[in-house]
Amino acid sequence: MNLYFEIVDWNPLFMIFMACFVMFVIYILYRMGNSTYRKTKYKGEPFLSGNPPVGEWKDDLEPINIRGDSFYWGFIQALKFYFKPLIAGHTGRLNDYIFWFIITLVVVMVVLSFA
């Protein structure tokens, strides 16, 4: 169960045990909290100055779905110089696939001819 290599030591059960221990400590801290706390209407909601109270505002929200394309849109836009040619290179054409196969073959043959 342990991994003891020349350079790597790793024990997953120790990590699981430590995670359980940390959760136990969190539970103890939680139990030590103020037991007289009572949740009222706006307690615990974020306070946004100038906006309507969150409790009322929340009822007007539309159901939200984040589209797959929206994830990392900014990241991909910022690295457009990298992603654009990469996507364009994946043409879906069989001729291109064969071209890359032959090119790779030639390059590897040339390199390994010195091996």
Residue numbers at the binding site for another protein (CB under 8 A): 1-8, 10, 12-13, 15-16, 63-69, 71-72, 76, 82-83, 86-87, 90, 92, 94, 96-98, 100-101, 103-105, 108-109, 111-115
Smallest separation, CB 38 to another protein (Å): 30
Smallest separation, CB 77 to another protein (Å): 11
In three-state secondary structure terms, 64 is coil
Q: Which residue, 41 or 84, has its beta carbon nearer to another protein? A: 84
C-alpha to C-alpha distances, 101 to 44, 85, 86, 107, 108, nearest whole angstrom: 60, 19, 17, 10, 11
Smallest separation, CB 52 to another protein (Å): 22
In three-state secondary structure terms, 10 is strand
CB atoms within 10 A of CB 76: 14
